[in-house]
């Protein structure tokens, strides 16, 4: 079970946005963050809870271990409008969180 919060968040361009993901058990650092834009397949942002995937802008960062994890977007940009998902990958089932929709004010 992966619980994401909030379910939606709105920020102005340039704002810092944070998304939280809580696991129902200790998953170490086995957490992946994805970004999904409407009508598109998901894209990997962060793996190992904190490691930025190649080609992903440095304004994205991940932190946490164990049960609690955070995805941060520093200086929100219009192209960051999307839904963000965490996924536990320590063992099967590799469950996704419910998603967080990020919007621009």
Residues that bind another protein (CB under 8 A): 30, 32, 34, 36, 41-42, 44, 47-48, 51, 53, 83, 85, 87, 89, 92-99
Q: Omega before 93 cis (within 30°)? A: yes
The minimum distance between CB 59 and another protein, in angstroms, equals 20
Q: Residue 2 in contact with residue 68, Cβ under 8 Å?
A: no
Q: Omega before 67 cis (within 30°)? A: no
Nearer to another protein by Cβ, of 50 and 75: the residue is: 50
DSSP state of 95: P
Q: Omega before 87 cis (within 30°)? A: no
Nearer to another protein by Cβ, of 44 and 70: the residue is: 44
Nearer to another protein by Cβ, of 36 and 75: the residue is: 36
The minimum distance between CB 17 and another protein, in angstroms, equals 18
DSSP state of 96: B
The minimum distance between CB 75 and another protein, in angstroms, equals 25
């Amino acid at each position: 079970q992966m619980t994401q919060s909030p379910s939606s968040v709105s920020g102005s361009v340039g704002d810092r946005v944070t998304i939280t993901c809580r696991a129902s058990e200790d998953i170490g650092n086995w957490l992946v963050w994805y970004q999904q834009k409407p009508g598109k397949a998901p894209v990997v942002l962060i793996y190992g809870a904190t490691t930025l995937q190649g080609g992903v802008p440095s304004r994205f960062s991940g932190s946490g271990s164990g049960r609690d994890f955070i995805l941060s977007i520093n200086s929100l940009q219009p192209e960051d409008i999307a839904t963000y998902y965490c996924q536990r990958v320590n063992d099967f089932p590799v469950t996704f969180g419910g998603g967080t929709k990020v919007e621009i004010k």
